[in-house]
Amino acid sequence: MSVRTTRAVLVAATAVALSAALAAPALAAVPAGSGHEATRKAAEAAVEAGVPGVTVTARDGHGTWSATAGVGNLRTGQPRSAADRYRVGSITKTFVATVLLQLEAEGRLSLDDSVDKWLPGLVRGNGHDGREVTLRQLLNHTSGIFNYTADEDFGRTYFLKDGFFEHRYDTKKPAQLVALAMTHKPDFAPGTSWNYSNTNYVLAGMVIEKATGRPYGAEVRDRIIKPLHLTGTSVPGTRVTVPGPSSRAYSKLAETATGPTYDVTRINPSIAYSAGEMISDSADLGRFYSALLRGKLLPREQLAEMTTTVPLDERGGYGLGLMKSELSCGVTVWGHGGGIHGSLSEAVTTRDGRHSLAFNLNGDWSGDTGAVIEAEFCGTEKAAERTVRRGPDLT
């Protein structure tokens, strides 16, 4: 399998992570607060499948529950902590979409603006034309703009062993990431289909900076992190470390789930920029998604825009930086998944924001994140029997 094919498969897997086990028979939902034993067992199953460790936190009307499984450091055997901070990958996209929607609510931009209005001439080449792409199409992945992480050379340079250890500390400018995407043809004409593209959110971050005159991370901090007191959440920029408390992150740095395991904790996340560079912890992510869905961050009109989805299948859809999935028991959850070197994360909540779940796997080649979600909201361990094989990626 080529690197490009692997990238496409991994992106697709993340994009439908919240729709895992949809073929399972319908099950009665377990009322909130009736116990999290199935969730604990699903986390333990991920460790049994090969993931070094898992940290998980859920919150419902009965309070907050946390659990860990496995280890946070393979060398010392130190266990994972419920307070672990970790790289959240594409969960960053929900923060970015929220800021853009806040700017729309303030009348500083419109989601119907063209990308070219804000970033003139940047999206051009091989059939790309920023005059034909709207900001809304960036946020719901209907722009057709090529995903720069699907570039073959980029994959070899940053996701496979030899390239990673040579280039893990490279600094990439967002305009360079967009320029790489422009060397490829679009996936489709704007608005005619759907395809997950990290380039969309690199552009979204650049639009925030153009509209505000400030770094997108500063806007995220002032508009979301500080007001919600998300003390474990940060926008690292080019910082290569993860603040403590934290665990190590591990990857096979290969297209298979076999072979040596490498510590990939230290990395310059500028290769992800506003598509996936952020760091957080499970408690903060639960607080963020709960506040978002309860209307604490957006006016009603903008929240309605965010939760208007493009169907991905019969039970899932993608809104504006927000994924919707109906689980096997009929419960619908909203949130996002994220993957970056050595780290797979999920954060979801019910539409009323009252029942939230966030967790992280500190290995990127195994473990079924959908099983953990099913276990928490449906009270079933059935999905935990499966194992999803992955490799390093940015999703």
Residue positions annotated with a catalytic role: 90
Residue/partner pairs of 60-64 with CB below 8 Å, 24 or more apart = 60/32, 60/33, 60/354, 60/355, 60/356, 61/32, 61/33, 61/354, 61/355, 62/32, 62/33, 63/33, 64/283
Could you tell me the end-to-end alpha-carbon distance of the chain, in angstroms, rounded to an integer? 19
In the structure encoding, which two tokens stand for residue 316, read together? 């899932």
In the structure encoding, which two tokens stand for residue 284, read together? 């903060």
Contact 154, 212 (CB under 8 A): no
Q: Which residues are bridge partners to 347 per DSSP?
A: 336, 358
User: What's the CA angle centered on 185, arms 181 and 186, to 5 degrees?
Assistant: 85
Exposure letters 358-390 (e unless 16+ CB within 10 A, then b): bbbbbbbbbbbbbbbbbbbbbbbbbbbeebbbb
Output the CA–CA distances (angstroms, integers) from residue 344 to 61, 191, 195, 338, 380, in the order listed: 27, 29, 20, 6, 21
